[in-house]
Structure 1
Amino acid sequence: MSLEALFSSPVVKPSKQGWLLGLVLVGLCGCASDKSVKKPEAEQAREHVAPEPIRPPRAAHEKVTEKDTDGDKKWDVWVYAVEERGADGEARERKVRKEMDINWDGRVDITTYYDAREEREREAMDLDFDGKVDSVFFYEKGVNVRRERDLNGDGKPDEWVFYEKGRLARKERDSNGDGRVDYWQYWENNQIDRIGEDLDGDGTVDKWSRGTPAE
């Protein structure tokens, strides 16, 4: 029975009509709410994320030291530190971040982040000089273990490069922007050993092929 027929039926008394109307409206609102909240995985993956700025806002407790490394009387390196107490209880300054302008255009191009031991932990780069992070290197105990790149400028990484003992081991790529890796390169002895491709978008390799020597 349609909603119009239900509420115009003489069998349904006025008091019950109001009760039924409220019940139906609650159901409709619930359905509409579910539809607005739940989005397909592919749609969620394609949602735009604001790219990370290459120069984050300075925190109130951070102290900055500016340097002119090329003698042009313009700052091109900024070192940020915070004050904290060491194990001996003595106050000390710990370096947390360093920003560099490597092409001397007055804007930051590389930002390096340091861990509690002042070892390099993360290094962000602005490759196209638009003020946004395009590539990030990750370090463990000062050694590069991974790199991520945002190739299409949507604020999310599309390419991942993994290193083992300082050597390139694997590359992964999301080539269609759906949030899933669909292309893999495995490297041996500094050259591509094999390539995997996901052809149906389920996140698993459907086709393997042998690599060719790297140029």
Structure 2
Amino acid sequence: MPSMSKWVVGLALVGLCGCASDKVAQKSEEAQEREQAAPESIQPPQASNEKVTKKDTNTDQKPDVWVYTVEEQRADGQGRDRMVRKEMDINWDGRVDITTYYDAREEREREAMDLDYDGKVDSVFFYEKNVNVRRERDLNGDGRVDSWSYYEKGKLARTERDSNGDGRVDYWEYWENDQVDRIGEDLDGDGNVDKWSRNTPAE
């Protein structure tokens, strides 16, 4: 083969290798994204410093509540077991459906729910001073939050939704007096409201 032809073939092979490596890198990045978006387990593994107490609330000889505590010292030097997490099986199928996390004062700060009983978290309520302030949901089951609800003084104030799965909010509802007051929509995908519509309840 003439030297010029070898040179051309060599360049072609380098180009093909470059394309292949780009595809591998792209696949790797996509795999990482999928891995990061893996749904959270409703029952996290028990930490080494946690003790678990099992309870049978329906007297079927099977536990349906699991209370996790950690040992710590109080200000007076006395030891105590502080509750950090509680898991509940509410349909008595032997699997956890709700996991509640508690702060240093044993007040609720996060409550995760498995709504479709697949072992993965679908909905999470967030609390401040034991009052619900936000709810996040994964509506399509891809492991990423696509619906957010915000509460003020215990009442729903605003909801946001990523309706097309691109990771960006494109739909907003603002609530007043327990009903939708106005709706905002992002029609071009730039993250900003393009269209507002107001609720006009029938008289």
TM-score under structure 2 length normalisation: 0.84
Larger radius of gyration: 1
In the other structure, the counterpart of 1:63 is 51
Shift of 1:61: 1.1
Give the counterpart of 1:91 among 75, 79, 94.
Answer: 79
- Residue pairs, 1:32-111, within 5 angstroms: 36=25, 47=34, 49-111=37-99
Given the superposition, is the C-alpha separation of residues 169 and 213 from structure 1 closer, same or farther in structure 2, using an over 3 Å criterion?
Answer: farther
In the other structure, the counterpart of 2:11 is none
Q: How many corresponding residue pairs?
A: 194
Find out whether 1:203 has 2:203 as its counterpart: no
In the other structure, the counterpart of 1:193 is 181
Given the superposition, is the C-alpha separation of residues 105 and 213 from structure 1 closer, same or farther in structure 2, using an over 3 Å criterion?
Answer: farther
Deviations 1:150-180 (A, max 9, x none): 0111111000000000000000000000000
Once residues 82 and 189 of structure 2 are traced to their aligned partners in structure 1, the CA distance between those partners, rounded to angstroms, is 46
Once residues 95 and 200 of structure 2 are traced to their aligned partners in structure 1, the CA distance between those partners, rounded to angstroms, is 40
Once residues 38 and 145 of structure 2 are traced to their aligned partners in structure 1, the CA distance between those partners, rounded to angstroms, is 12
In the other structure, the counterpart of 1:22 is none
Contact 1:180/1:203 (8 A) holds in 2 = yes
Deviations 1:183-204 (A, max 9, x none): 0000000010000000111101
Given the superposition, is the C-alpha separation of residues 192 and 144 from structure 1 closer, same or farther in structure 2, using an over 3 Å criterion?
Answer: same
Once residues 62 and 139 of structure 1 are traced to their aligned partners in structure 2, the CA distance between those partners, rounded to angstroms, is 23
Gap regions ≥5 residues in structure 2: 9-13
Shift of 1:47: 4.0
Once residues 107 and 66 of structure 1 are traced to their aligned partners in structure 2, the CA distance between those partners, rounded to angstroms, is 13
**Which deviates more from structure 2 when the two are superposed, residues 66-75 or residues 142-151?**
66-75
Find out whether 1:182 has 2:182 as its counterpart: no
In the other structure, the counterpart of 1:170 is 158
Shift of 1:211: 2.1
Gap regions ≥5 residues in structure 1: 9-24
Shift of 1:91: 1.4
Given the superposition, is the C-alpha separation of residues 98 and 203 from structure 1 closer, same or farther in structure 2, using an over 3 Å criterion?
Answer: same
Once residues 164 and 41 of structure 2 are traced to their aligned partners in structure 1, the CA distance between those partners, rounded to angstroms, is 24
Task: Classify the secondary structure of the residue corresponding to 1:160.
Answer: strand
